[in-house]
Amino acid sequence: MTITKQITIFKTWILFGILGYWLLVITPPSVNAQSTLGLSAIPPQLELTAEPGQVVTKEIKLRNESNVVKVITSSVKDFIVTNDSGTPITVDEANPAPDASRWASSAWMQLSETKFKLNPGETRSILVTVITPEDALPGGHYAMIVHSPDNEATLSETGSSVVTNVGSLVYITVPGAINQDAQITQFSGPKFQEYGPVNFDTTIKNLSDIHITPVGQITVKNLFNRVIAELPVSGTNIFPYTSRQYQSLLDKKWLFGRYQAELATTYGSAGGVLATSLSFWIIPWRLMILATIALIIIATLLFVILKQPKPPKSSDSEVESLELELETLKKKYKDRS
């Protein structure tokens, strides 16, 4: 086998190796968008307004997106939120929570069906009837419609059985004298960084009798008061007397100098405004030190080169004197000869 053929075979094996690595490692596997349970609650969030003593009926849907028959048990539970990410936790007799009754509304709600079979691809409509008490307090009241497939559970890390559910959150607003208030409990970012990107953490506490949805942005300005970025802060509800954390990213690497970040949001039907600001510095000090050292080295080399002694230049008179001496010597040599 010639050397040329050996090189060709070697290149072919390298090409196949790169192709295999790209297929197995770099290219991510396709993921089915279907949920773990194969169930979809439509809508995932139901909002309605009901006067004290009023009866309101709404429709929700549950769809079986799996390829197996499911037997569903539906129920209504109260819930609370205890963390800054807004995760709802159901409340029942086995898991009581203090002060949950002020916002609870599961006792107001009735479902048209609580036990039914759902075939593959089938969508079932369920009527939700809300009977608001005459003495209902103005503000927000909340519950969760939970759909639990029978005989479907997963094992937790401790080995215990955990039932997985899907559901819809129900937000009921009772009109009246509703207190609406909120405050920014945290707006933080770096005081000093070498490079971007820059992270901002915002925590807003809802002091209202109803949930709020802050809508606003973080405006970042440079030393010359020019806007370089506008980062949205919005899109999620905050339940009464709970906090919600928002994270924003200034996705720029090459920054220099002092910057100002200004947070401004609005919330509630009364148009409440929250605002605060912070300043920070971005200084690539390592790069600046390297650049300074490089400039010093270049300047030193130039100084040394320019200070090198130069050979003296002969003046015109010296040249003429040498020529005369040469002519004199020539004459003397001729005379002697």
pLDDT tens digits for range 202-252: 999 999 999 999 999 999 999 999 999 999 998 788 999 999 999 999 999
Q: Coil, helix or strand for 20? A: helix
- Helical segments of the chain, H only: 3-21, 285-306, 316-336
What whole-number distance in Å separates Cα of residue 176 and Cα of residue 182?
19
Residues 201, 162 within the same domain:
no
What whole-number distance in Å separates Cα of residue 112 and Cα of residue 127?
5
Q: Please give the structure tokens belonging to residue 29.
A: 């596997």
Contact 150/112 with Cβ under 8 angstroms?
A: no
CATH number at residue 203: 2.60.40.10
Burial bucket for residue 60 (CB in 10 Å: 0-12, 13-18, 19+): buried
**Phi/psi at 304 (5° precision):** -65, -45
What is the span of the domain harbouring residue 44? Answer: 39-174
Between 12 and 307, name the one with better pLDDT.
307
Q: Which of 142, 174, 206 is the last residue of a domain?
A: 174
Q: Which of 285, 305, 327 is the last residue of a domain?
A: 285
Q: Read off the pLDDT of each residue in 9-28 and give the average, rounded to a whole number.
A: 40
* Residue 231 belongs to a domain: yes
* Residue 5 belongs to a domain: no
Q: Please give the structure tokens belonging to residue 145.
A: 């419609």
Q: For 290-330, what is each residue's pLDDT tens digit?
A: 999 999 999 888 888 888 776 665 556 666 777 777 777 77
pTM: 0.71
**Residues forming a β-bridge with 265:** 216, 274
Q: For 50-68, what is each residue's pLDDT tens digit?
A: 999 999 999 999 999 989 9
The structural domain count of the chain equals 2
Contact 311/222 with Cβ under 8 angstroms?
A: no
Paired sense of beta strands 45-49 and 166-174, if any: parallel
* Residue 34 belongs to a domain: no
What whole-number distance in Å separates Cα of residue 295 and Cα of residue 286?
14
Residues 157, 212 within the same domain:
no
What whole-number distance in Å separates Cα of residue 102 and Cα of residue 334?
134
Residues 164, 207 within the same domain:
no
Q: Read off the pLDDT of each residue in 26-53 and give the average, rounded to a whole number.
A: 69
